[in-house]
Amino acid sequence: MTLTGCILLPLLNLRIPFESSGIKGVYLGDKNYEDSWGNYIYLLIDANNASVETLKQNNLYIDYYYPSPTEIMLIYKITNEDKLSIVRPFLEGKYSTIPKDYVDRNFTKFLNGNLNTTYAILTKAVYIKKFWEERGIDIGDNEVCSKPKKGLEIYGYEEDSDYSPYYFTNEHI
């Protein structure tokens, strides 16, 4: 899952369980749309999933297209308020400055009995800082996760040259 999916998907307030939604990917841009980075959320869905019509009923839904015969991309707008208070800090990698009410409303410290990595990133958890320090990386007072990488967060983006060793995912735990 992309950081967009982990941190920004709650902006859509989807009323369908993620597990049955048919969502295959969540992106904050699309290489085919020049002004898309940070302005829309793109959900890549199995085109045959029954949830497609339900997901189109969302008040933020604006359009769709078929990137392949078996997949549909649903496009959602991001409100101006959310762009300023949530998406801008996200794009800058300033996760701990995302409003606390958004974090508390959408994330728990524990998920299925384990520490929730997304919550830890958003709250600059000490245990992630220690994780990096144990590997010889001193991040000081910086965020515990790198800012989003276009190569991972934009659908169809080919280049991963902006990859950073500070990109923290669930696989690191």
Domain membership of residue 83 (yes or no) is: yes
Count CB neighbours of 118 within 10 A. Answer: 22
pLDDT tens, 34-88? 777 889 999 999 999 888 999 999 999 999 999 999 999 999 999 999 999 999 9
- Is residue 164 included in any domain, yes or no? no
Contact 96, 120 (CB under 8 A): no
pTM score:
0.85
**Overall number of domains in the chain:** 1
* Domain contains 169: no
Distance CA 87, CA 166 (A): 20
Whether 150 is in a domain gets the answer yes
For the segment 114-153, what is each residue's pLDDT rounded down to a tens digit? Answer: 889 999 999 999 989 999 999 999 998 899 998 998 889 9
Residue 103 maps to a domain: yes
Structural domain span for residue 129: 1-158
Q: Is residue 149 part of a domain?
A: yes
